[in-house]
Amino acid sequence: MSCCAPGVEAGGSIGGAPSRQEVLLGSRDLGEGLRQTDLSVPGMHCGACIRAIEKGLGKLPGVEQARVNLSTRRVAVKWRGEAAPPLIETLDGLGYSAHLFDMDADRDDPELSRLIRALAVAGFASMNIMLLSVSVWSGADAETRQAFHWISAALAFPTLLYSGRIFFRSAWSVLKNGRTNMDVPISIGISLAFGLSLYDTLHNGEHAYFDASVTLIFFLLVGRTLDYVMRERARAAVRGLVRLAPRGATVLKQDGSRDYLPVDQIEPGMRLLLMAGDRVPVDATVADGASEIDRAIATGESEPQQVGPGSLVQAGTLNLTGPLTVTVTARAESSFLAEMVRLMEAAEGGRARYRRLADRAAQFYSPVVHATAFLTFLGWMAATGDWHRAIGVAIAVLIITCPCALGLAVPIVQVVAARRLFENGIMVKDGSGIERLAQADTVAFDKTGTLTLGTPRLATYEGISDALAVAAAMAAHSNHPLSRALAVAVGGGRAVVVSDIVEHAGFGLEARHGGEVYRLGRANWALNENTEARASGTVLARNGRLLASFQFEDALRSDASETVSILRGMGMRLAILSGDEETAVAATAGRIGIDDHRAGLLPAEKVAGLQALAREGRKVLMVGDGLNDAPALASAHVSMAPASAADIGRNAADFVFLREPLGAVPLAMKVAREAGRLVRQNFGLAIIYNAIALPIAIAGYVTPLVAALAMSLSSVLVVANALRLKAGKTPRAERRAASARQARHGHSAALAR
């Protein structure tokens, strides 16, 4: 009883649920016979879900403890025993679809806790120093002021070392490479502010900037931590998606016994058993059996392909209808998948060359500010000859032009944008993706699984309506995509009881109903020879005579045409790069109105197509899902993938959208463009602020109080401006209201029990 609508509508679960052996293989040994399995359960989202899942799993024999983590939509189950308890089946029974969570992908995150600790220390120190500083500014006598300065120094020094090292380290690592980024001026600013204040404290000076130094660290760390948390959340959501690459396979040994081995232990020459619904783990040739192979995710071909003994099957394809015995021809490292990884690595150069906006700004900013400070020093030296006074003013210039506003200008906008995208089911992998998306002027779509859902849909149907019910009842027993499409099209209308169902791999289904033999499948198999000429494609036949024929089409995503016209309205050039056949691609292109389409492309040719566009000066957004799209996703200026994409495609893409509609593409683009505009405004604000503050600083009128006020004010302005981001907001408010209604409904139902 899933109380809540699932939040993730991935494009259907492809392939069967992981076997118990796979659960065992995916579990972690905690010692003393205790094992832990992490499951991703995207559908849970309220208190009732927690209880249902924890109670349901806790009752299973062998399960020691089941603990739900609602934030990450995950369950950690600790269990004992030789075989894994039926965890996924149990969750299925409760109404939650679950899948194994990849342990390797989820190690402890030292970076986040380092940031949070640094932030906590900086927060503690800045509050206390500010407290002391306010006392000084409100007129403490000389002796108290001196004591407070010393306490401030004692607090600021460890904070500088502990929290400041995040900036120092980053600044040092780019300086070593002869480049500069925003952390360089930040590091110089905070170190100099501290150094001068310490000097003044030693010499009983009146002013100390310890508060400026430490609050600067604090503000910047807030921005940085938020940025990191947001990206980490998006990454976690992407990691939680169904893994499409199998973890292992059933190996048939010489002596006839079976063994489930992890993929990396599968060697060429081994014989594997693939059941219907299994994904092919490594490249292999069929030794025995007949079936159909769905290659949509591997090559973009939408039509299943028939295979028999001798046929080659590629890693990543899906065995649809019958069991197959295959002979392995390549290890996992040299399979089709590995070939894609190599192509990706070769293609990745372009994106690595992109320099982030903040770094480009820093490149311009640092020399100007540092030169200004130096000139100020020279000017004051010439005018007064008092070198201490001159250094004091020069450092005040550095502090007042402090990169606080500038250091927050980009990350805070990206945090708001990423948050907005997250609420709309779009995951951003990294901030520079938002910047690059705002520049895109061309969109290249893959067809199968991107413009279309990659699953067929019943288009037309000819025959009597009773026949449809029989066909649906038969189809309900098969995993074949066409059968599923039939079952979905008819829905749970009238139940017809059919018996003795047999699936003939590569041909269709045979069943008995009312004493007669029905066949659903290929026309030339289902029909008697004399009627063969009358129909083609998929038919339903009774005793060899045609009852109905069905035409299927690859279903477009619900709003594909609309999305195309929106994108065109935004001034984008559109293209389709597909690995599917010309006719299928042309049909889809015609329906949604994209003229520029290319079919039958190999992965490398897709990359070449993108590179050709790039040479024309185009910045291309690639939207694709297949294994064959992964190199293109990596080589495009910016890329997006649906949640149903192949694992490496998802990892290569900058954005992953979890909901079905293709509207995610223009929405992400709008958010990215508006974010770009806000970033530019923020830079503008920072420049205006500097134009006002700089002369005051150069004239020597900046006291620590003025510096603290100016810095806080400019930071608040920049943050407030970032919060103005409007794109993607209205639907959120509506959806929140809707989900609140739903949640209330679900809760009351749960409480009534």
Partner 1 sequence: MSGSLLILVPLALLLGGVALGAFFWSLRSGQYEDLDGAAERILLEDEEDEQGDKPHPDDVANKID
Question: Segment near partner 1 (CB under 8 A), from 65-73, 564-572, 580-588, 704-712?
Answer: 65-73
Q: What span, in angstroms and rounded, lies between the C-alpha atoms of 492 and 510?
A: 21
**Whole-number minimum distance, CB 120 to partner 1, in Å?**
5
Nearer to partner 1, 151 or 459 (CB): 151
Which helix (DSSP H) or strand (DSSP E) does residue 452 occupy? strand 452-463
Closest CA to 404 of 704, 698, 718: 718
Q: In the structure encoding, which two tokens stand for residue 461, read together?
A: 């149907």
Name the DSSP letter for residue 58: H
| Alpha helix (H) residue ranges in 15-141 | 20-25, 47-58, 87-94, 110-137
Q: 447 near 578, Cβ under 8 Å?
A: yes
Which range, of 57-65, 95-103, 164-172, 405-413, touches partner 1 by CB under 8 A?
Answer: 57-65
Q: Per the structure block, which two tokens stand in for 303?
A: 């039509």
Stretch touching partner 1 by CB under 8 A, among 69-77, 341-349, 456-464, 505-513: 69-77
Sheet of 271-274, strand order: 258-262, 248-252, 271-274, 324-328, 284-288, 312-313
The span from the CA of 252 to the CA of 275, in Å, is 13
Q: Looking at beta carbons only, is 49 or 216 nearer to partner 1?
A: 49
Is the Cβ–Cβ distance between 363 and 651 less than 8 Å?
A: no
Joined together, the tokens standing for residue 547 give: 């009852």
**What single-letter amino acid sits at 135?**
S
Q: How far is the CB of 50 from partner 1 (least distance, A)?
A: 6
- Window of 123-131, 546-554, 562-570, 572-580 that interacts with partner 1 by CB under 8 A: 123-131
Task: Judge contact between 24 and 84, C-beta under 8 A.
Answer: yes
CB closer to partner 1 out of 113 and 528: 113
Check binding of 131 to partner 1 (CB under 8 A): yes
d(CA 288, CA 309): 5
For residue 557, the 8-state DSSP code is P
**Site for partner 1 contains 121 (CB under 8 A):** yes
**CA dist 324 to 250, 481, 606, Å?**
11, 18, 32
Choices 49-57, 646-654, 656-664, 712-720 (CB under 8 A): range interacting with partner 1: 49-57
Give the shortest CB-46-to-partner 1 separation in angstroms. 6
Nearest approach in angstroms of CB 113 to partner 1 is: 7
Which of 531/742 has CB closer to partner 1?
Answer: 742
Torsion of CA 310, 314, 316, 320, to 10 degrees: -30
Q: Could you tell me which residues come within 8 angstroms of residue 607 by beta carbon, excluding any fewer than 6 positions away? A: 343, 347, 631, 632, 635
Token reading at 197: 């204040």
Residue 58 interacts with partner 1 (CB under 8 A): yes or no = yes
Q: Count residues contacting partner 1 (CB under 8 A)?
A: 32
Q: Residue 59, interface with partner 1 (CB under 8 A)?
A: yes
Cβ distance to partner 1 smaller for residue 51 or 360: 51
216, HSE (Cβ side, Cα atoms, 13 Å): 36
By three-state DSSP, how is residue 491 classified? coil
Single out the residue of 17, 24, 60, 70 in contact with partner 1 (rule: CB under 8 A). Answer: 70
Q: What angle do CA 115, 121, 127 make, to 5 degrees?
A: 130
Q: In whole angstroms, what is the distance from residue 304 CA to residue 529 CA?
A: 24
Tell me the closest approach of the beta carbon of residue 163 to partner 1, in angstroms. Answer: 12
Among 16, 47, 95, 205, binds partner 1 (CB under 8 A): 47
Closest contact distance (angstroms) between CB of 75 and partner 1 is 11
Site string for partner 1, 89-118 (x = CB under 8 A): ------------------------x--xx-
Among 12, 24, 86, 124, indicate the residue that binds partner 1 (CB under 8 A): 124
Interface with partner 1 (CB under 8 A), residue from 7, 17, 20, 46 = 46
Contact set for partner 1, span 136-175 (CB under 8 A): 143-144, 147, 151, 155
For residues 719 and 679, give the distance between their C-alpha atoms in angstroms, rounded to a whole number.
11
CB nearer to partner 1: give 50 or 496. Answer: 50
Pick between residue 196 and residue 237 the one whose CB is nearest to partner 1.
Answer: 237
In this complex, which beta carbon is closest to partner 1, that of residue 555 or of residue 750?
750
Contacting residue, 17, 24, 50, 60, with partner 1 by CB under 8 A:
50
Q: Any contact of residue 51 with partner 1 (CB under 8 A)?
A: yes
Question: Which of 38, 200, 294, 446 is labelled catalytic?
Answer: 446
Q: Which amino acid is at 290?
A: A
What is the nearest approach in angstroms of partner 1 to the Cβ of residue 45? 8
Backbone angles phi, psi at 512, to 5 degrees: -115, 140
Choose the stretch contacting partner 1; rule: CB under 8 A; options: 62-70, 168-176, 395-403, 691-699.
62-70
Residue 65 makes contact with partner 1 by CB under 8 A: yes
Closer to partner 1 by Cβ: residue 58 or 593: 58
Strands 620-623 and 638-642 turn out to be parallel
Out of 4, 41, 68, 313, the only residue in the binding site for partner 1 (CB under 8 A) is 68
Q: Is 48 helix (H, G, I), strand (E, B) or coil?
A: helix
Task: Give the shortest CB-203-to-partner 1 separation in angstroms.
Answer: 19
Least separation in angstroms between residue 114's CB and partner 1 is: 11
Residues contacting residue 332 through CB under 8 Å, at least 6 positions apart: 263, 264, 266, 281, 282, 315, 338
In the bound state with partner 1, the residue whose beta carbon lies nearer, of 354 and 422, is 422
Residue type, 121: V
Q: Which is nearer to partner 1, 130 or 453 (CB)?
A: 130
- 654 as an active site residue: the answer is no
Q: Which secondary structure element, helix H or strand E, spans residue 454, and what is its range?
A: strand 452-463
Cβ neighbours of 515 (radius 10 Å): 5
12 counts as binding partner 1 under rule CB under 8 A:
no
Q: Whole-angstrom Cα distance, residue 59 to residue 498?
A: 36
Q: Using CB under 8 A, which of 17, 24, 60, 127 touches partner 1?
A: 127
Nearest CB to partner 1, comparing residues 24 and 50: 50
Using CB under 8 A, which of the segments 59-67, 172-180, 271-279, 428-436 binds partner 1?
A: 59-67
Is 134 an interacting residue with respect to partner 1 (CB under 8 A)?
Answer: no
**556 bridge partner residues:** 452
Tell me which of 24, 120, 245, 717 binds partner 1, using CB under 8 A.
120
Helix (H) or strand (E) holding 745: helix 730-752
- Copy the structure tokens of residue 584: 């299928």
> Least distance in Å: CB of 359 to partner 1?
31
Is residue 30 involved in binding partner 1 (CB under 8 A)? Answer: yes
Residues at the site binding partner 1, with contacts judged by CB under 8 A: 30, 46-47, 50-51, 55, 58-59, 64-65, 67-72, 78, 113, 116-117, 120-121, 124, 127-128, 131-132, 143-144, 147, 151, 155
Residues acting as catalytic residues: 446
